[in-house]
Amino acid sequence: MSSTTDARTPSTAFSSGDFRAALGAFATGVTVVTTMSDGRGYGMTVNAFSSLSLDPPLVLVCARSGTPGSVEIDRNGCFAVNILADDQEPISRYFSSRDRPTGHDAFRDVAHSVGPSGAPLIEGTVAHLDCLVAESYTAGDHEIFVGEVLSLWVDREAEPILFHGGRYRVLAPEPG
């Protein structure tokens, strides 16, 4: 009997790079989570977003603890999840850049309106959900923010941008 290791054999010894690769195998939508209070705005590209409850309507987003994003959401008590369309990769890159403006200038170069919570709603998205923070939790190195959805908007014809394996992707058109 030979002793070979099946590539599918689960490993209990793995590196952070292995963990990131496994998580990157899951295709996600791309969102920009925004928040604002007293004219001080902040936006960040996030793929750690999920629906949580239909009744009441709840979603969750995760942000690394102690970063400006988690601090601002906690301080402002609100956030909006802007689900990006397939032509909005530049907006995703803008809000993931370390050099982007924050505070009063955070949205000066991005077309947007302001939702009932006070959070910016980016124009041209597939959808947005405007939320008040209902709960927050610390788990590992992240803050989990549960948002109660105050309002939403959906463009049922728009196509989303996806992220998989460290790259942006778009949906293939249906054959035929």
Residue 15 domain flag: no
| Residue 125, domain CATH | 2.30.110.10
Residue 11 domain flag: no
Q: How many domains does the structure of the chain reveal?
A: 1
Q: What is the C-alpha separation between 31 and 11, in angstroms, rounded?
A: 31
Over its length of 176 residues, how does the chain's per-residue pLDDT go in tens digits? 444 455 666 667 888 888 777 777 767 899 999 999 888 899 999 989 999 999 999 999 999 999 999 999 999 999 999 999 999 999 999 999 988 888 889 999 999 999 999 999 999 999 999 999 999 999 999 999 999 999 999 999 999 999 988 888 888 887 87
CA distances from 22 to 89, 131, 150 (A): 23, 30, 34
Give me the residue label for tokens 């923010």.
145
Looking at residue 20, what is its pLDDT?
76
Residue 155 domain flag: yes
Residue 95 domain flag: yes
Residue 42 domain flag: yes
Residue 76 domain flag: yes
pLDDT in tens, 51-95: 999 999 999 999 999 999 999 999 999 999 999 999 999 999 999
Q: Is 161 helix (H, G, I), strand (E, B) or coil?
A: strand
Looking at residue 155, what is its pLDDT?
97
- Structural domain of 91: 29-163
State the pTM of this model.
0.87
Residue 13 domain flag: no
Residue 6 domain flag: no
Looking at residue 96, what is its pLDDT?
93
The mean of the pLDDT values for the chain is: 90
Strand pairing category for 142-154 and 49-53 = unpaired
Cβ neighbours of 81 (radius 10 Å): 26
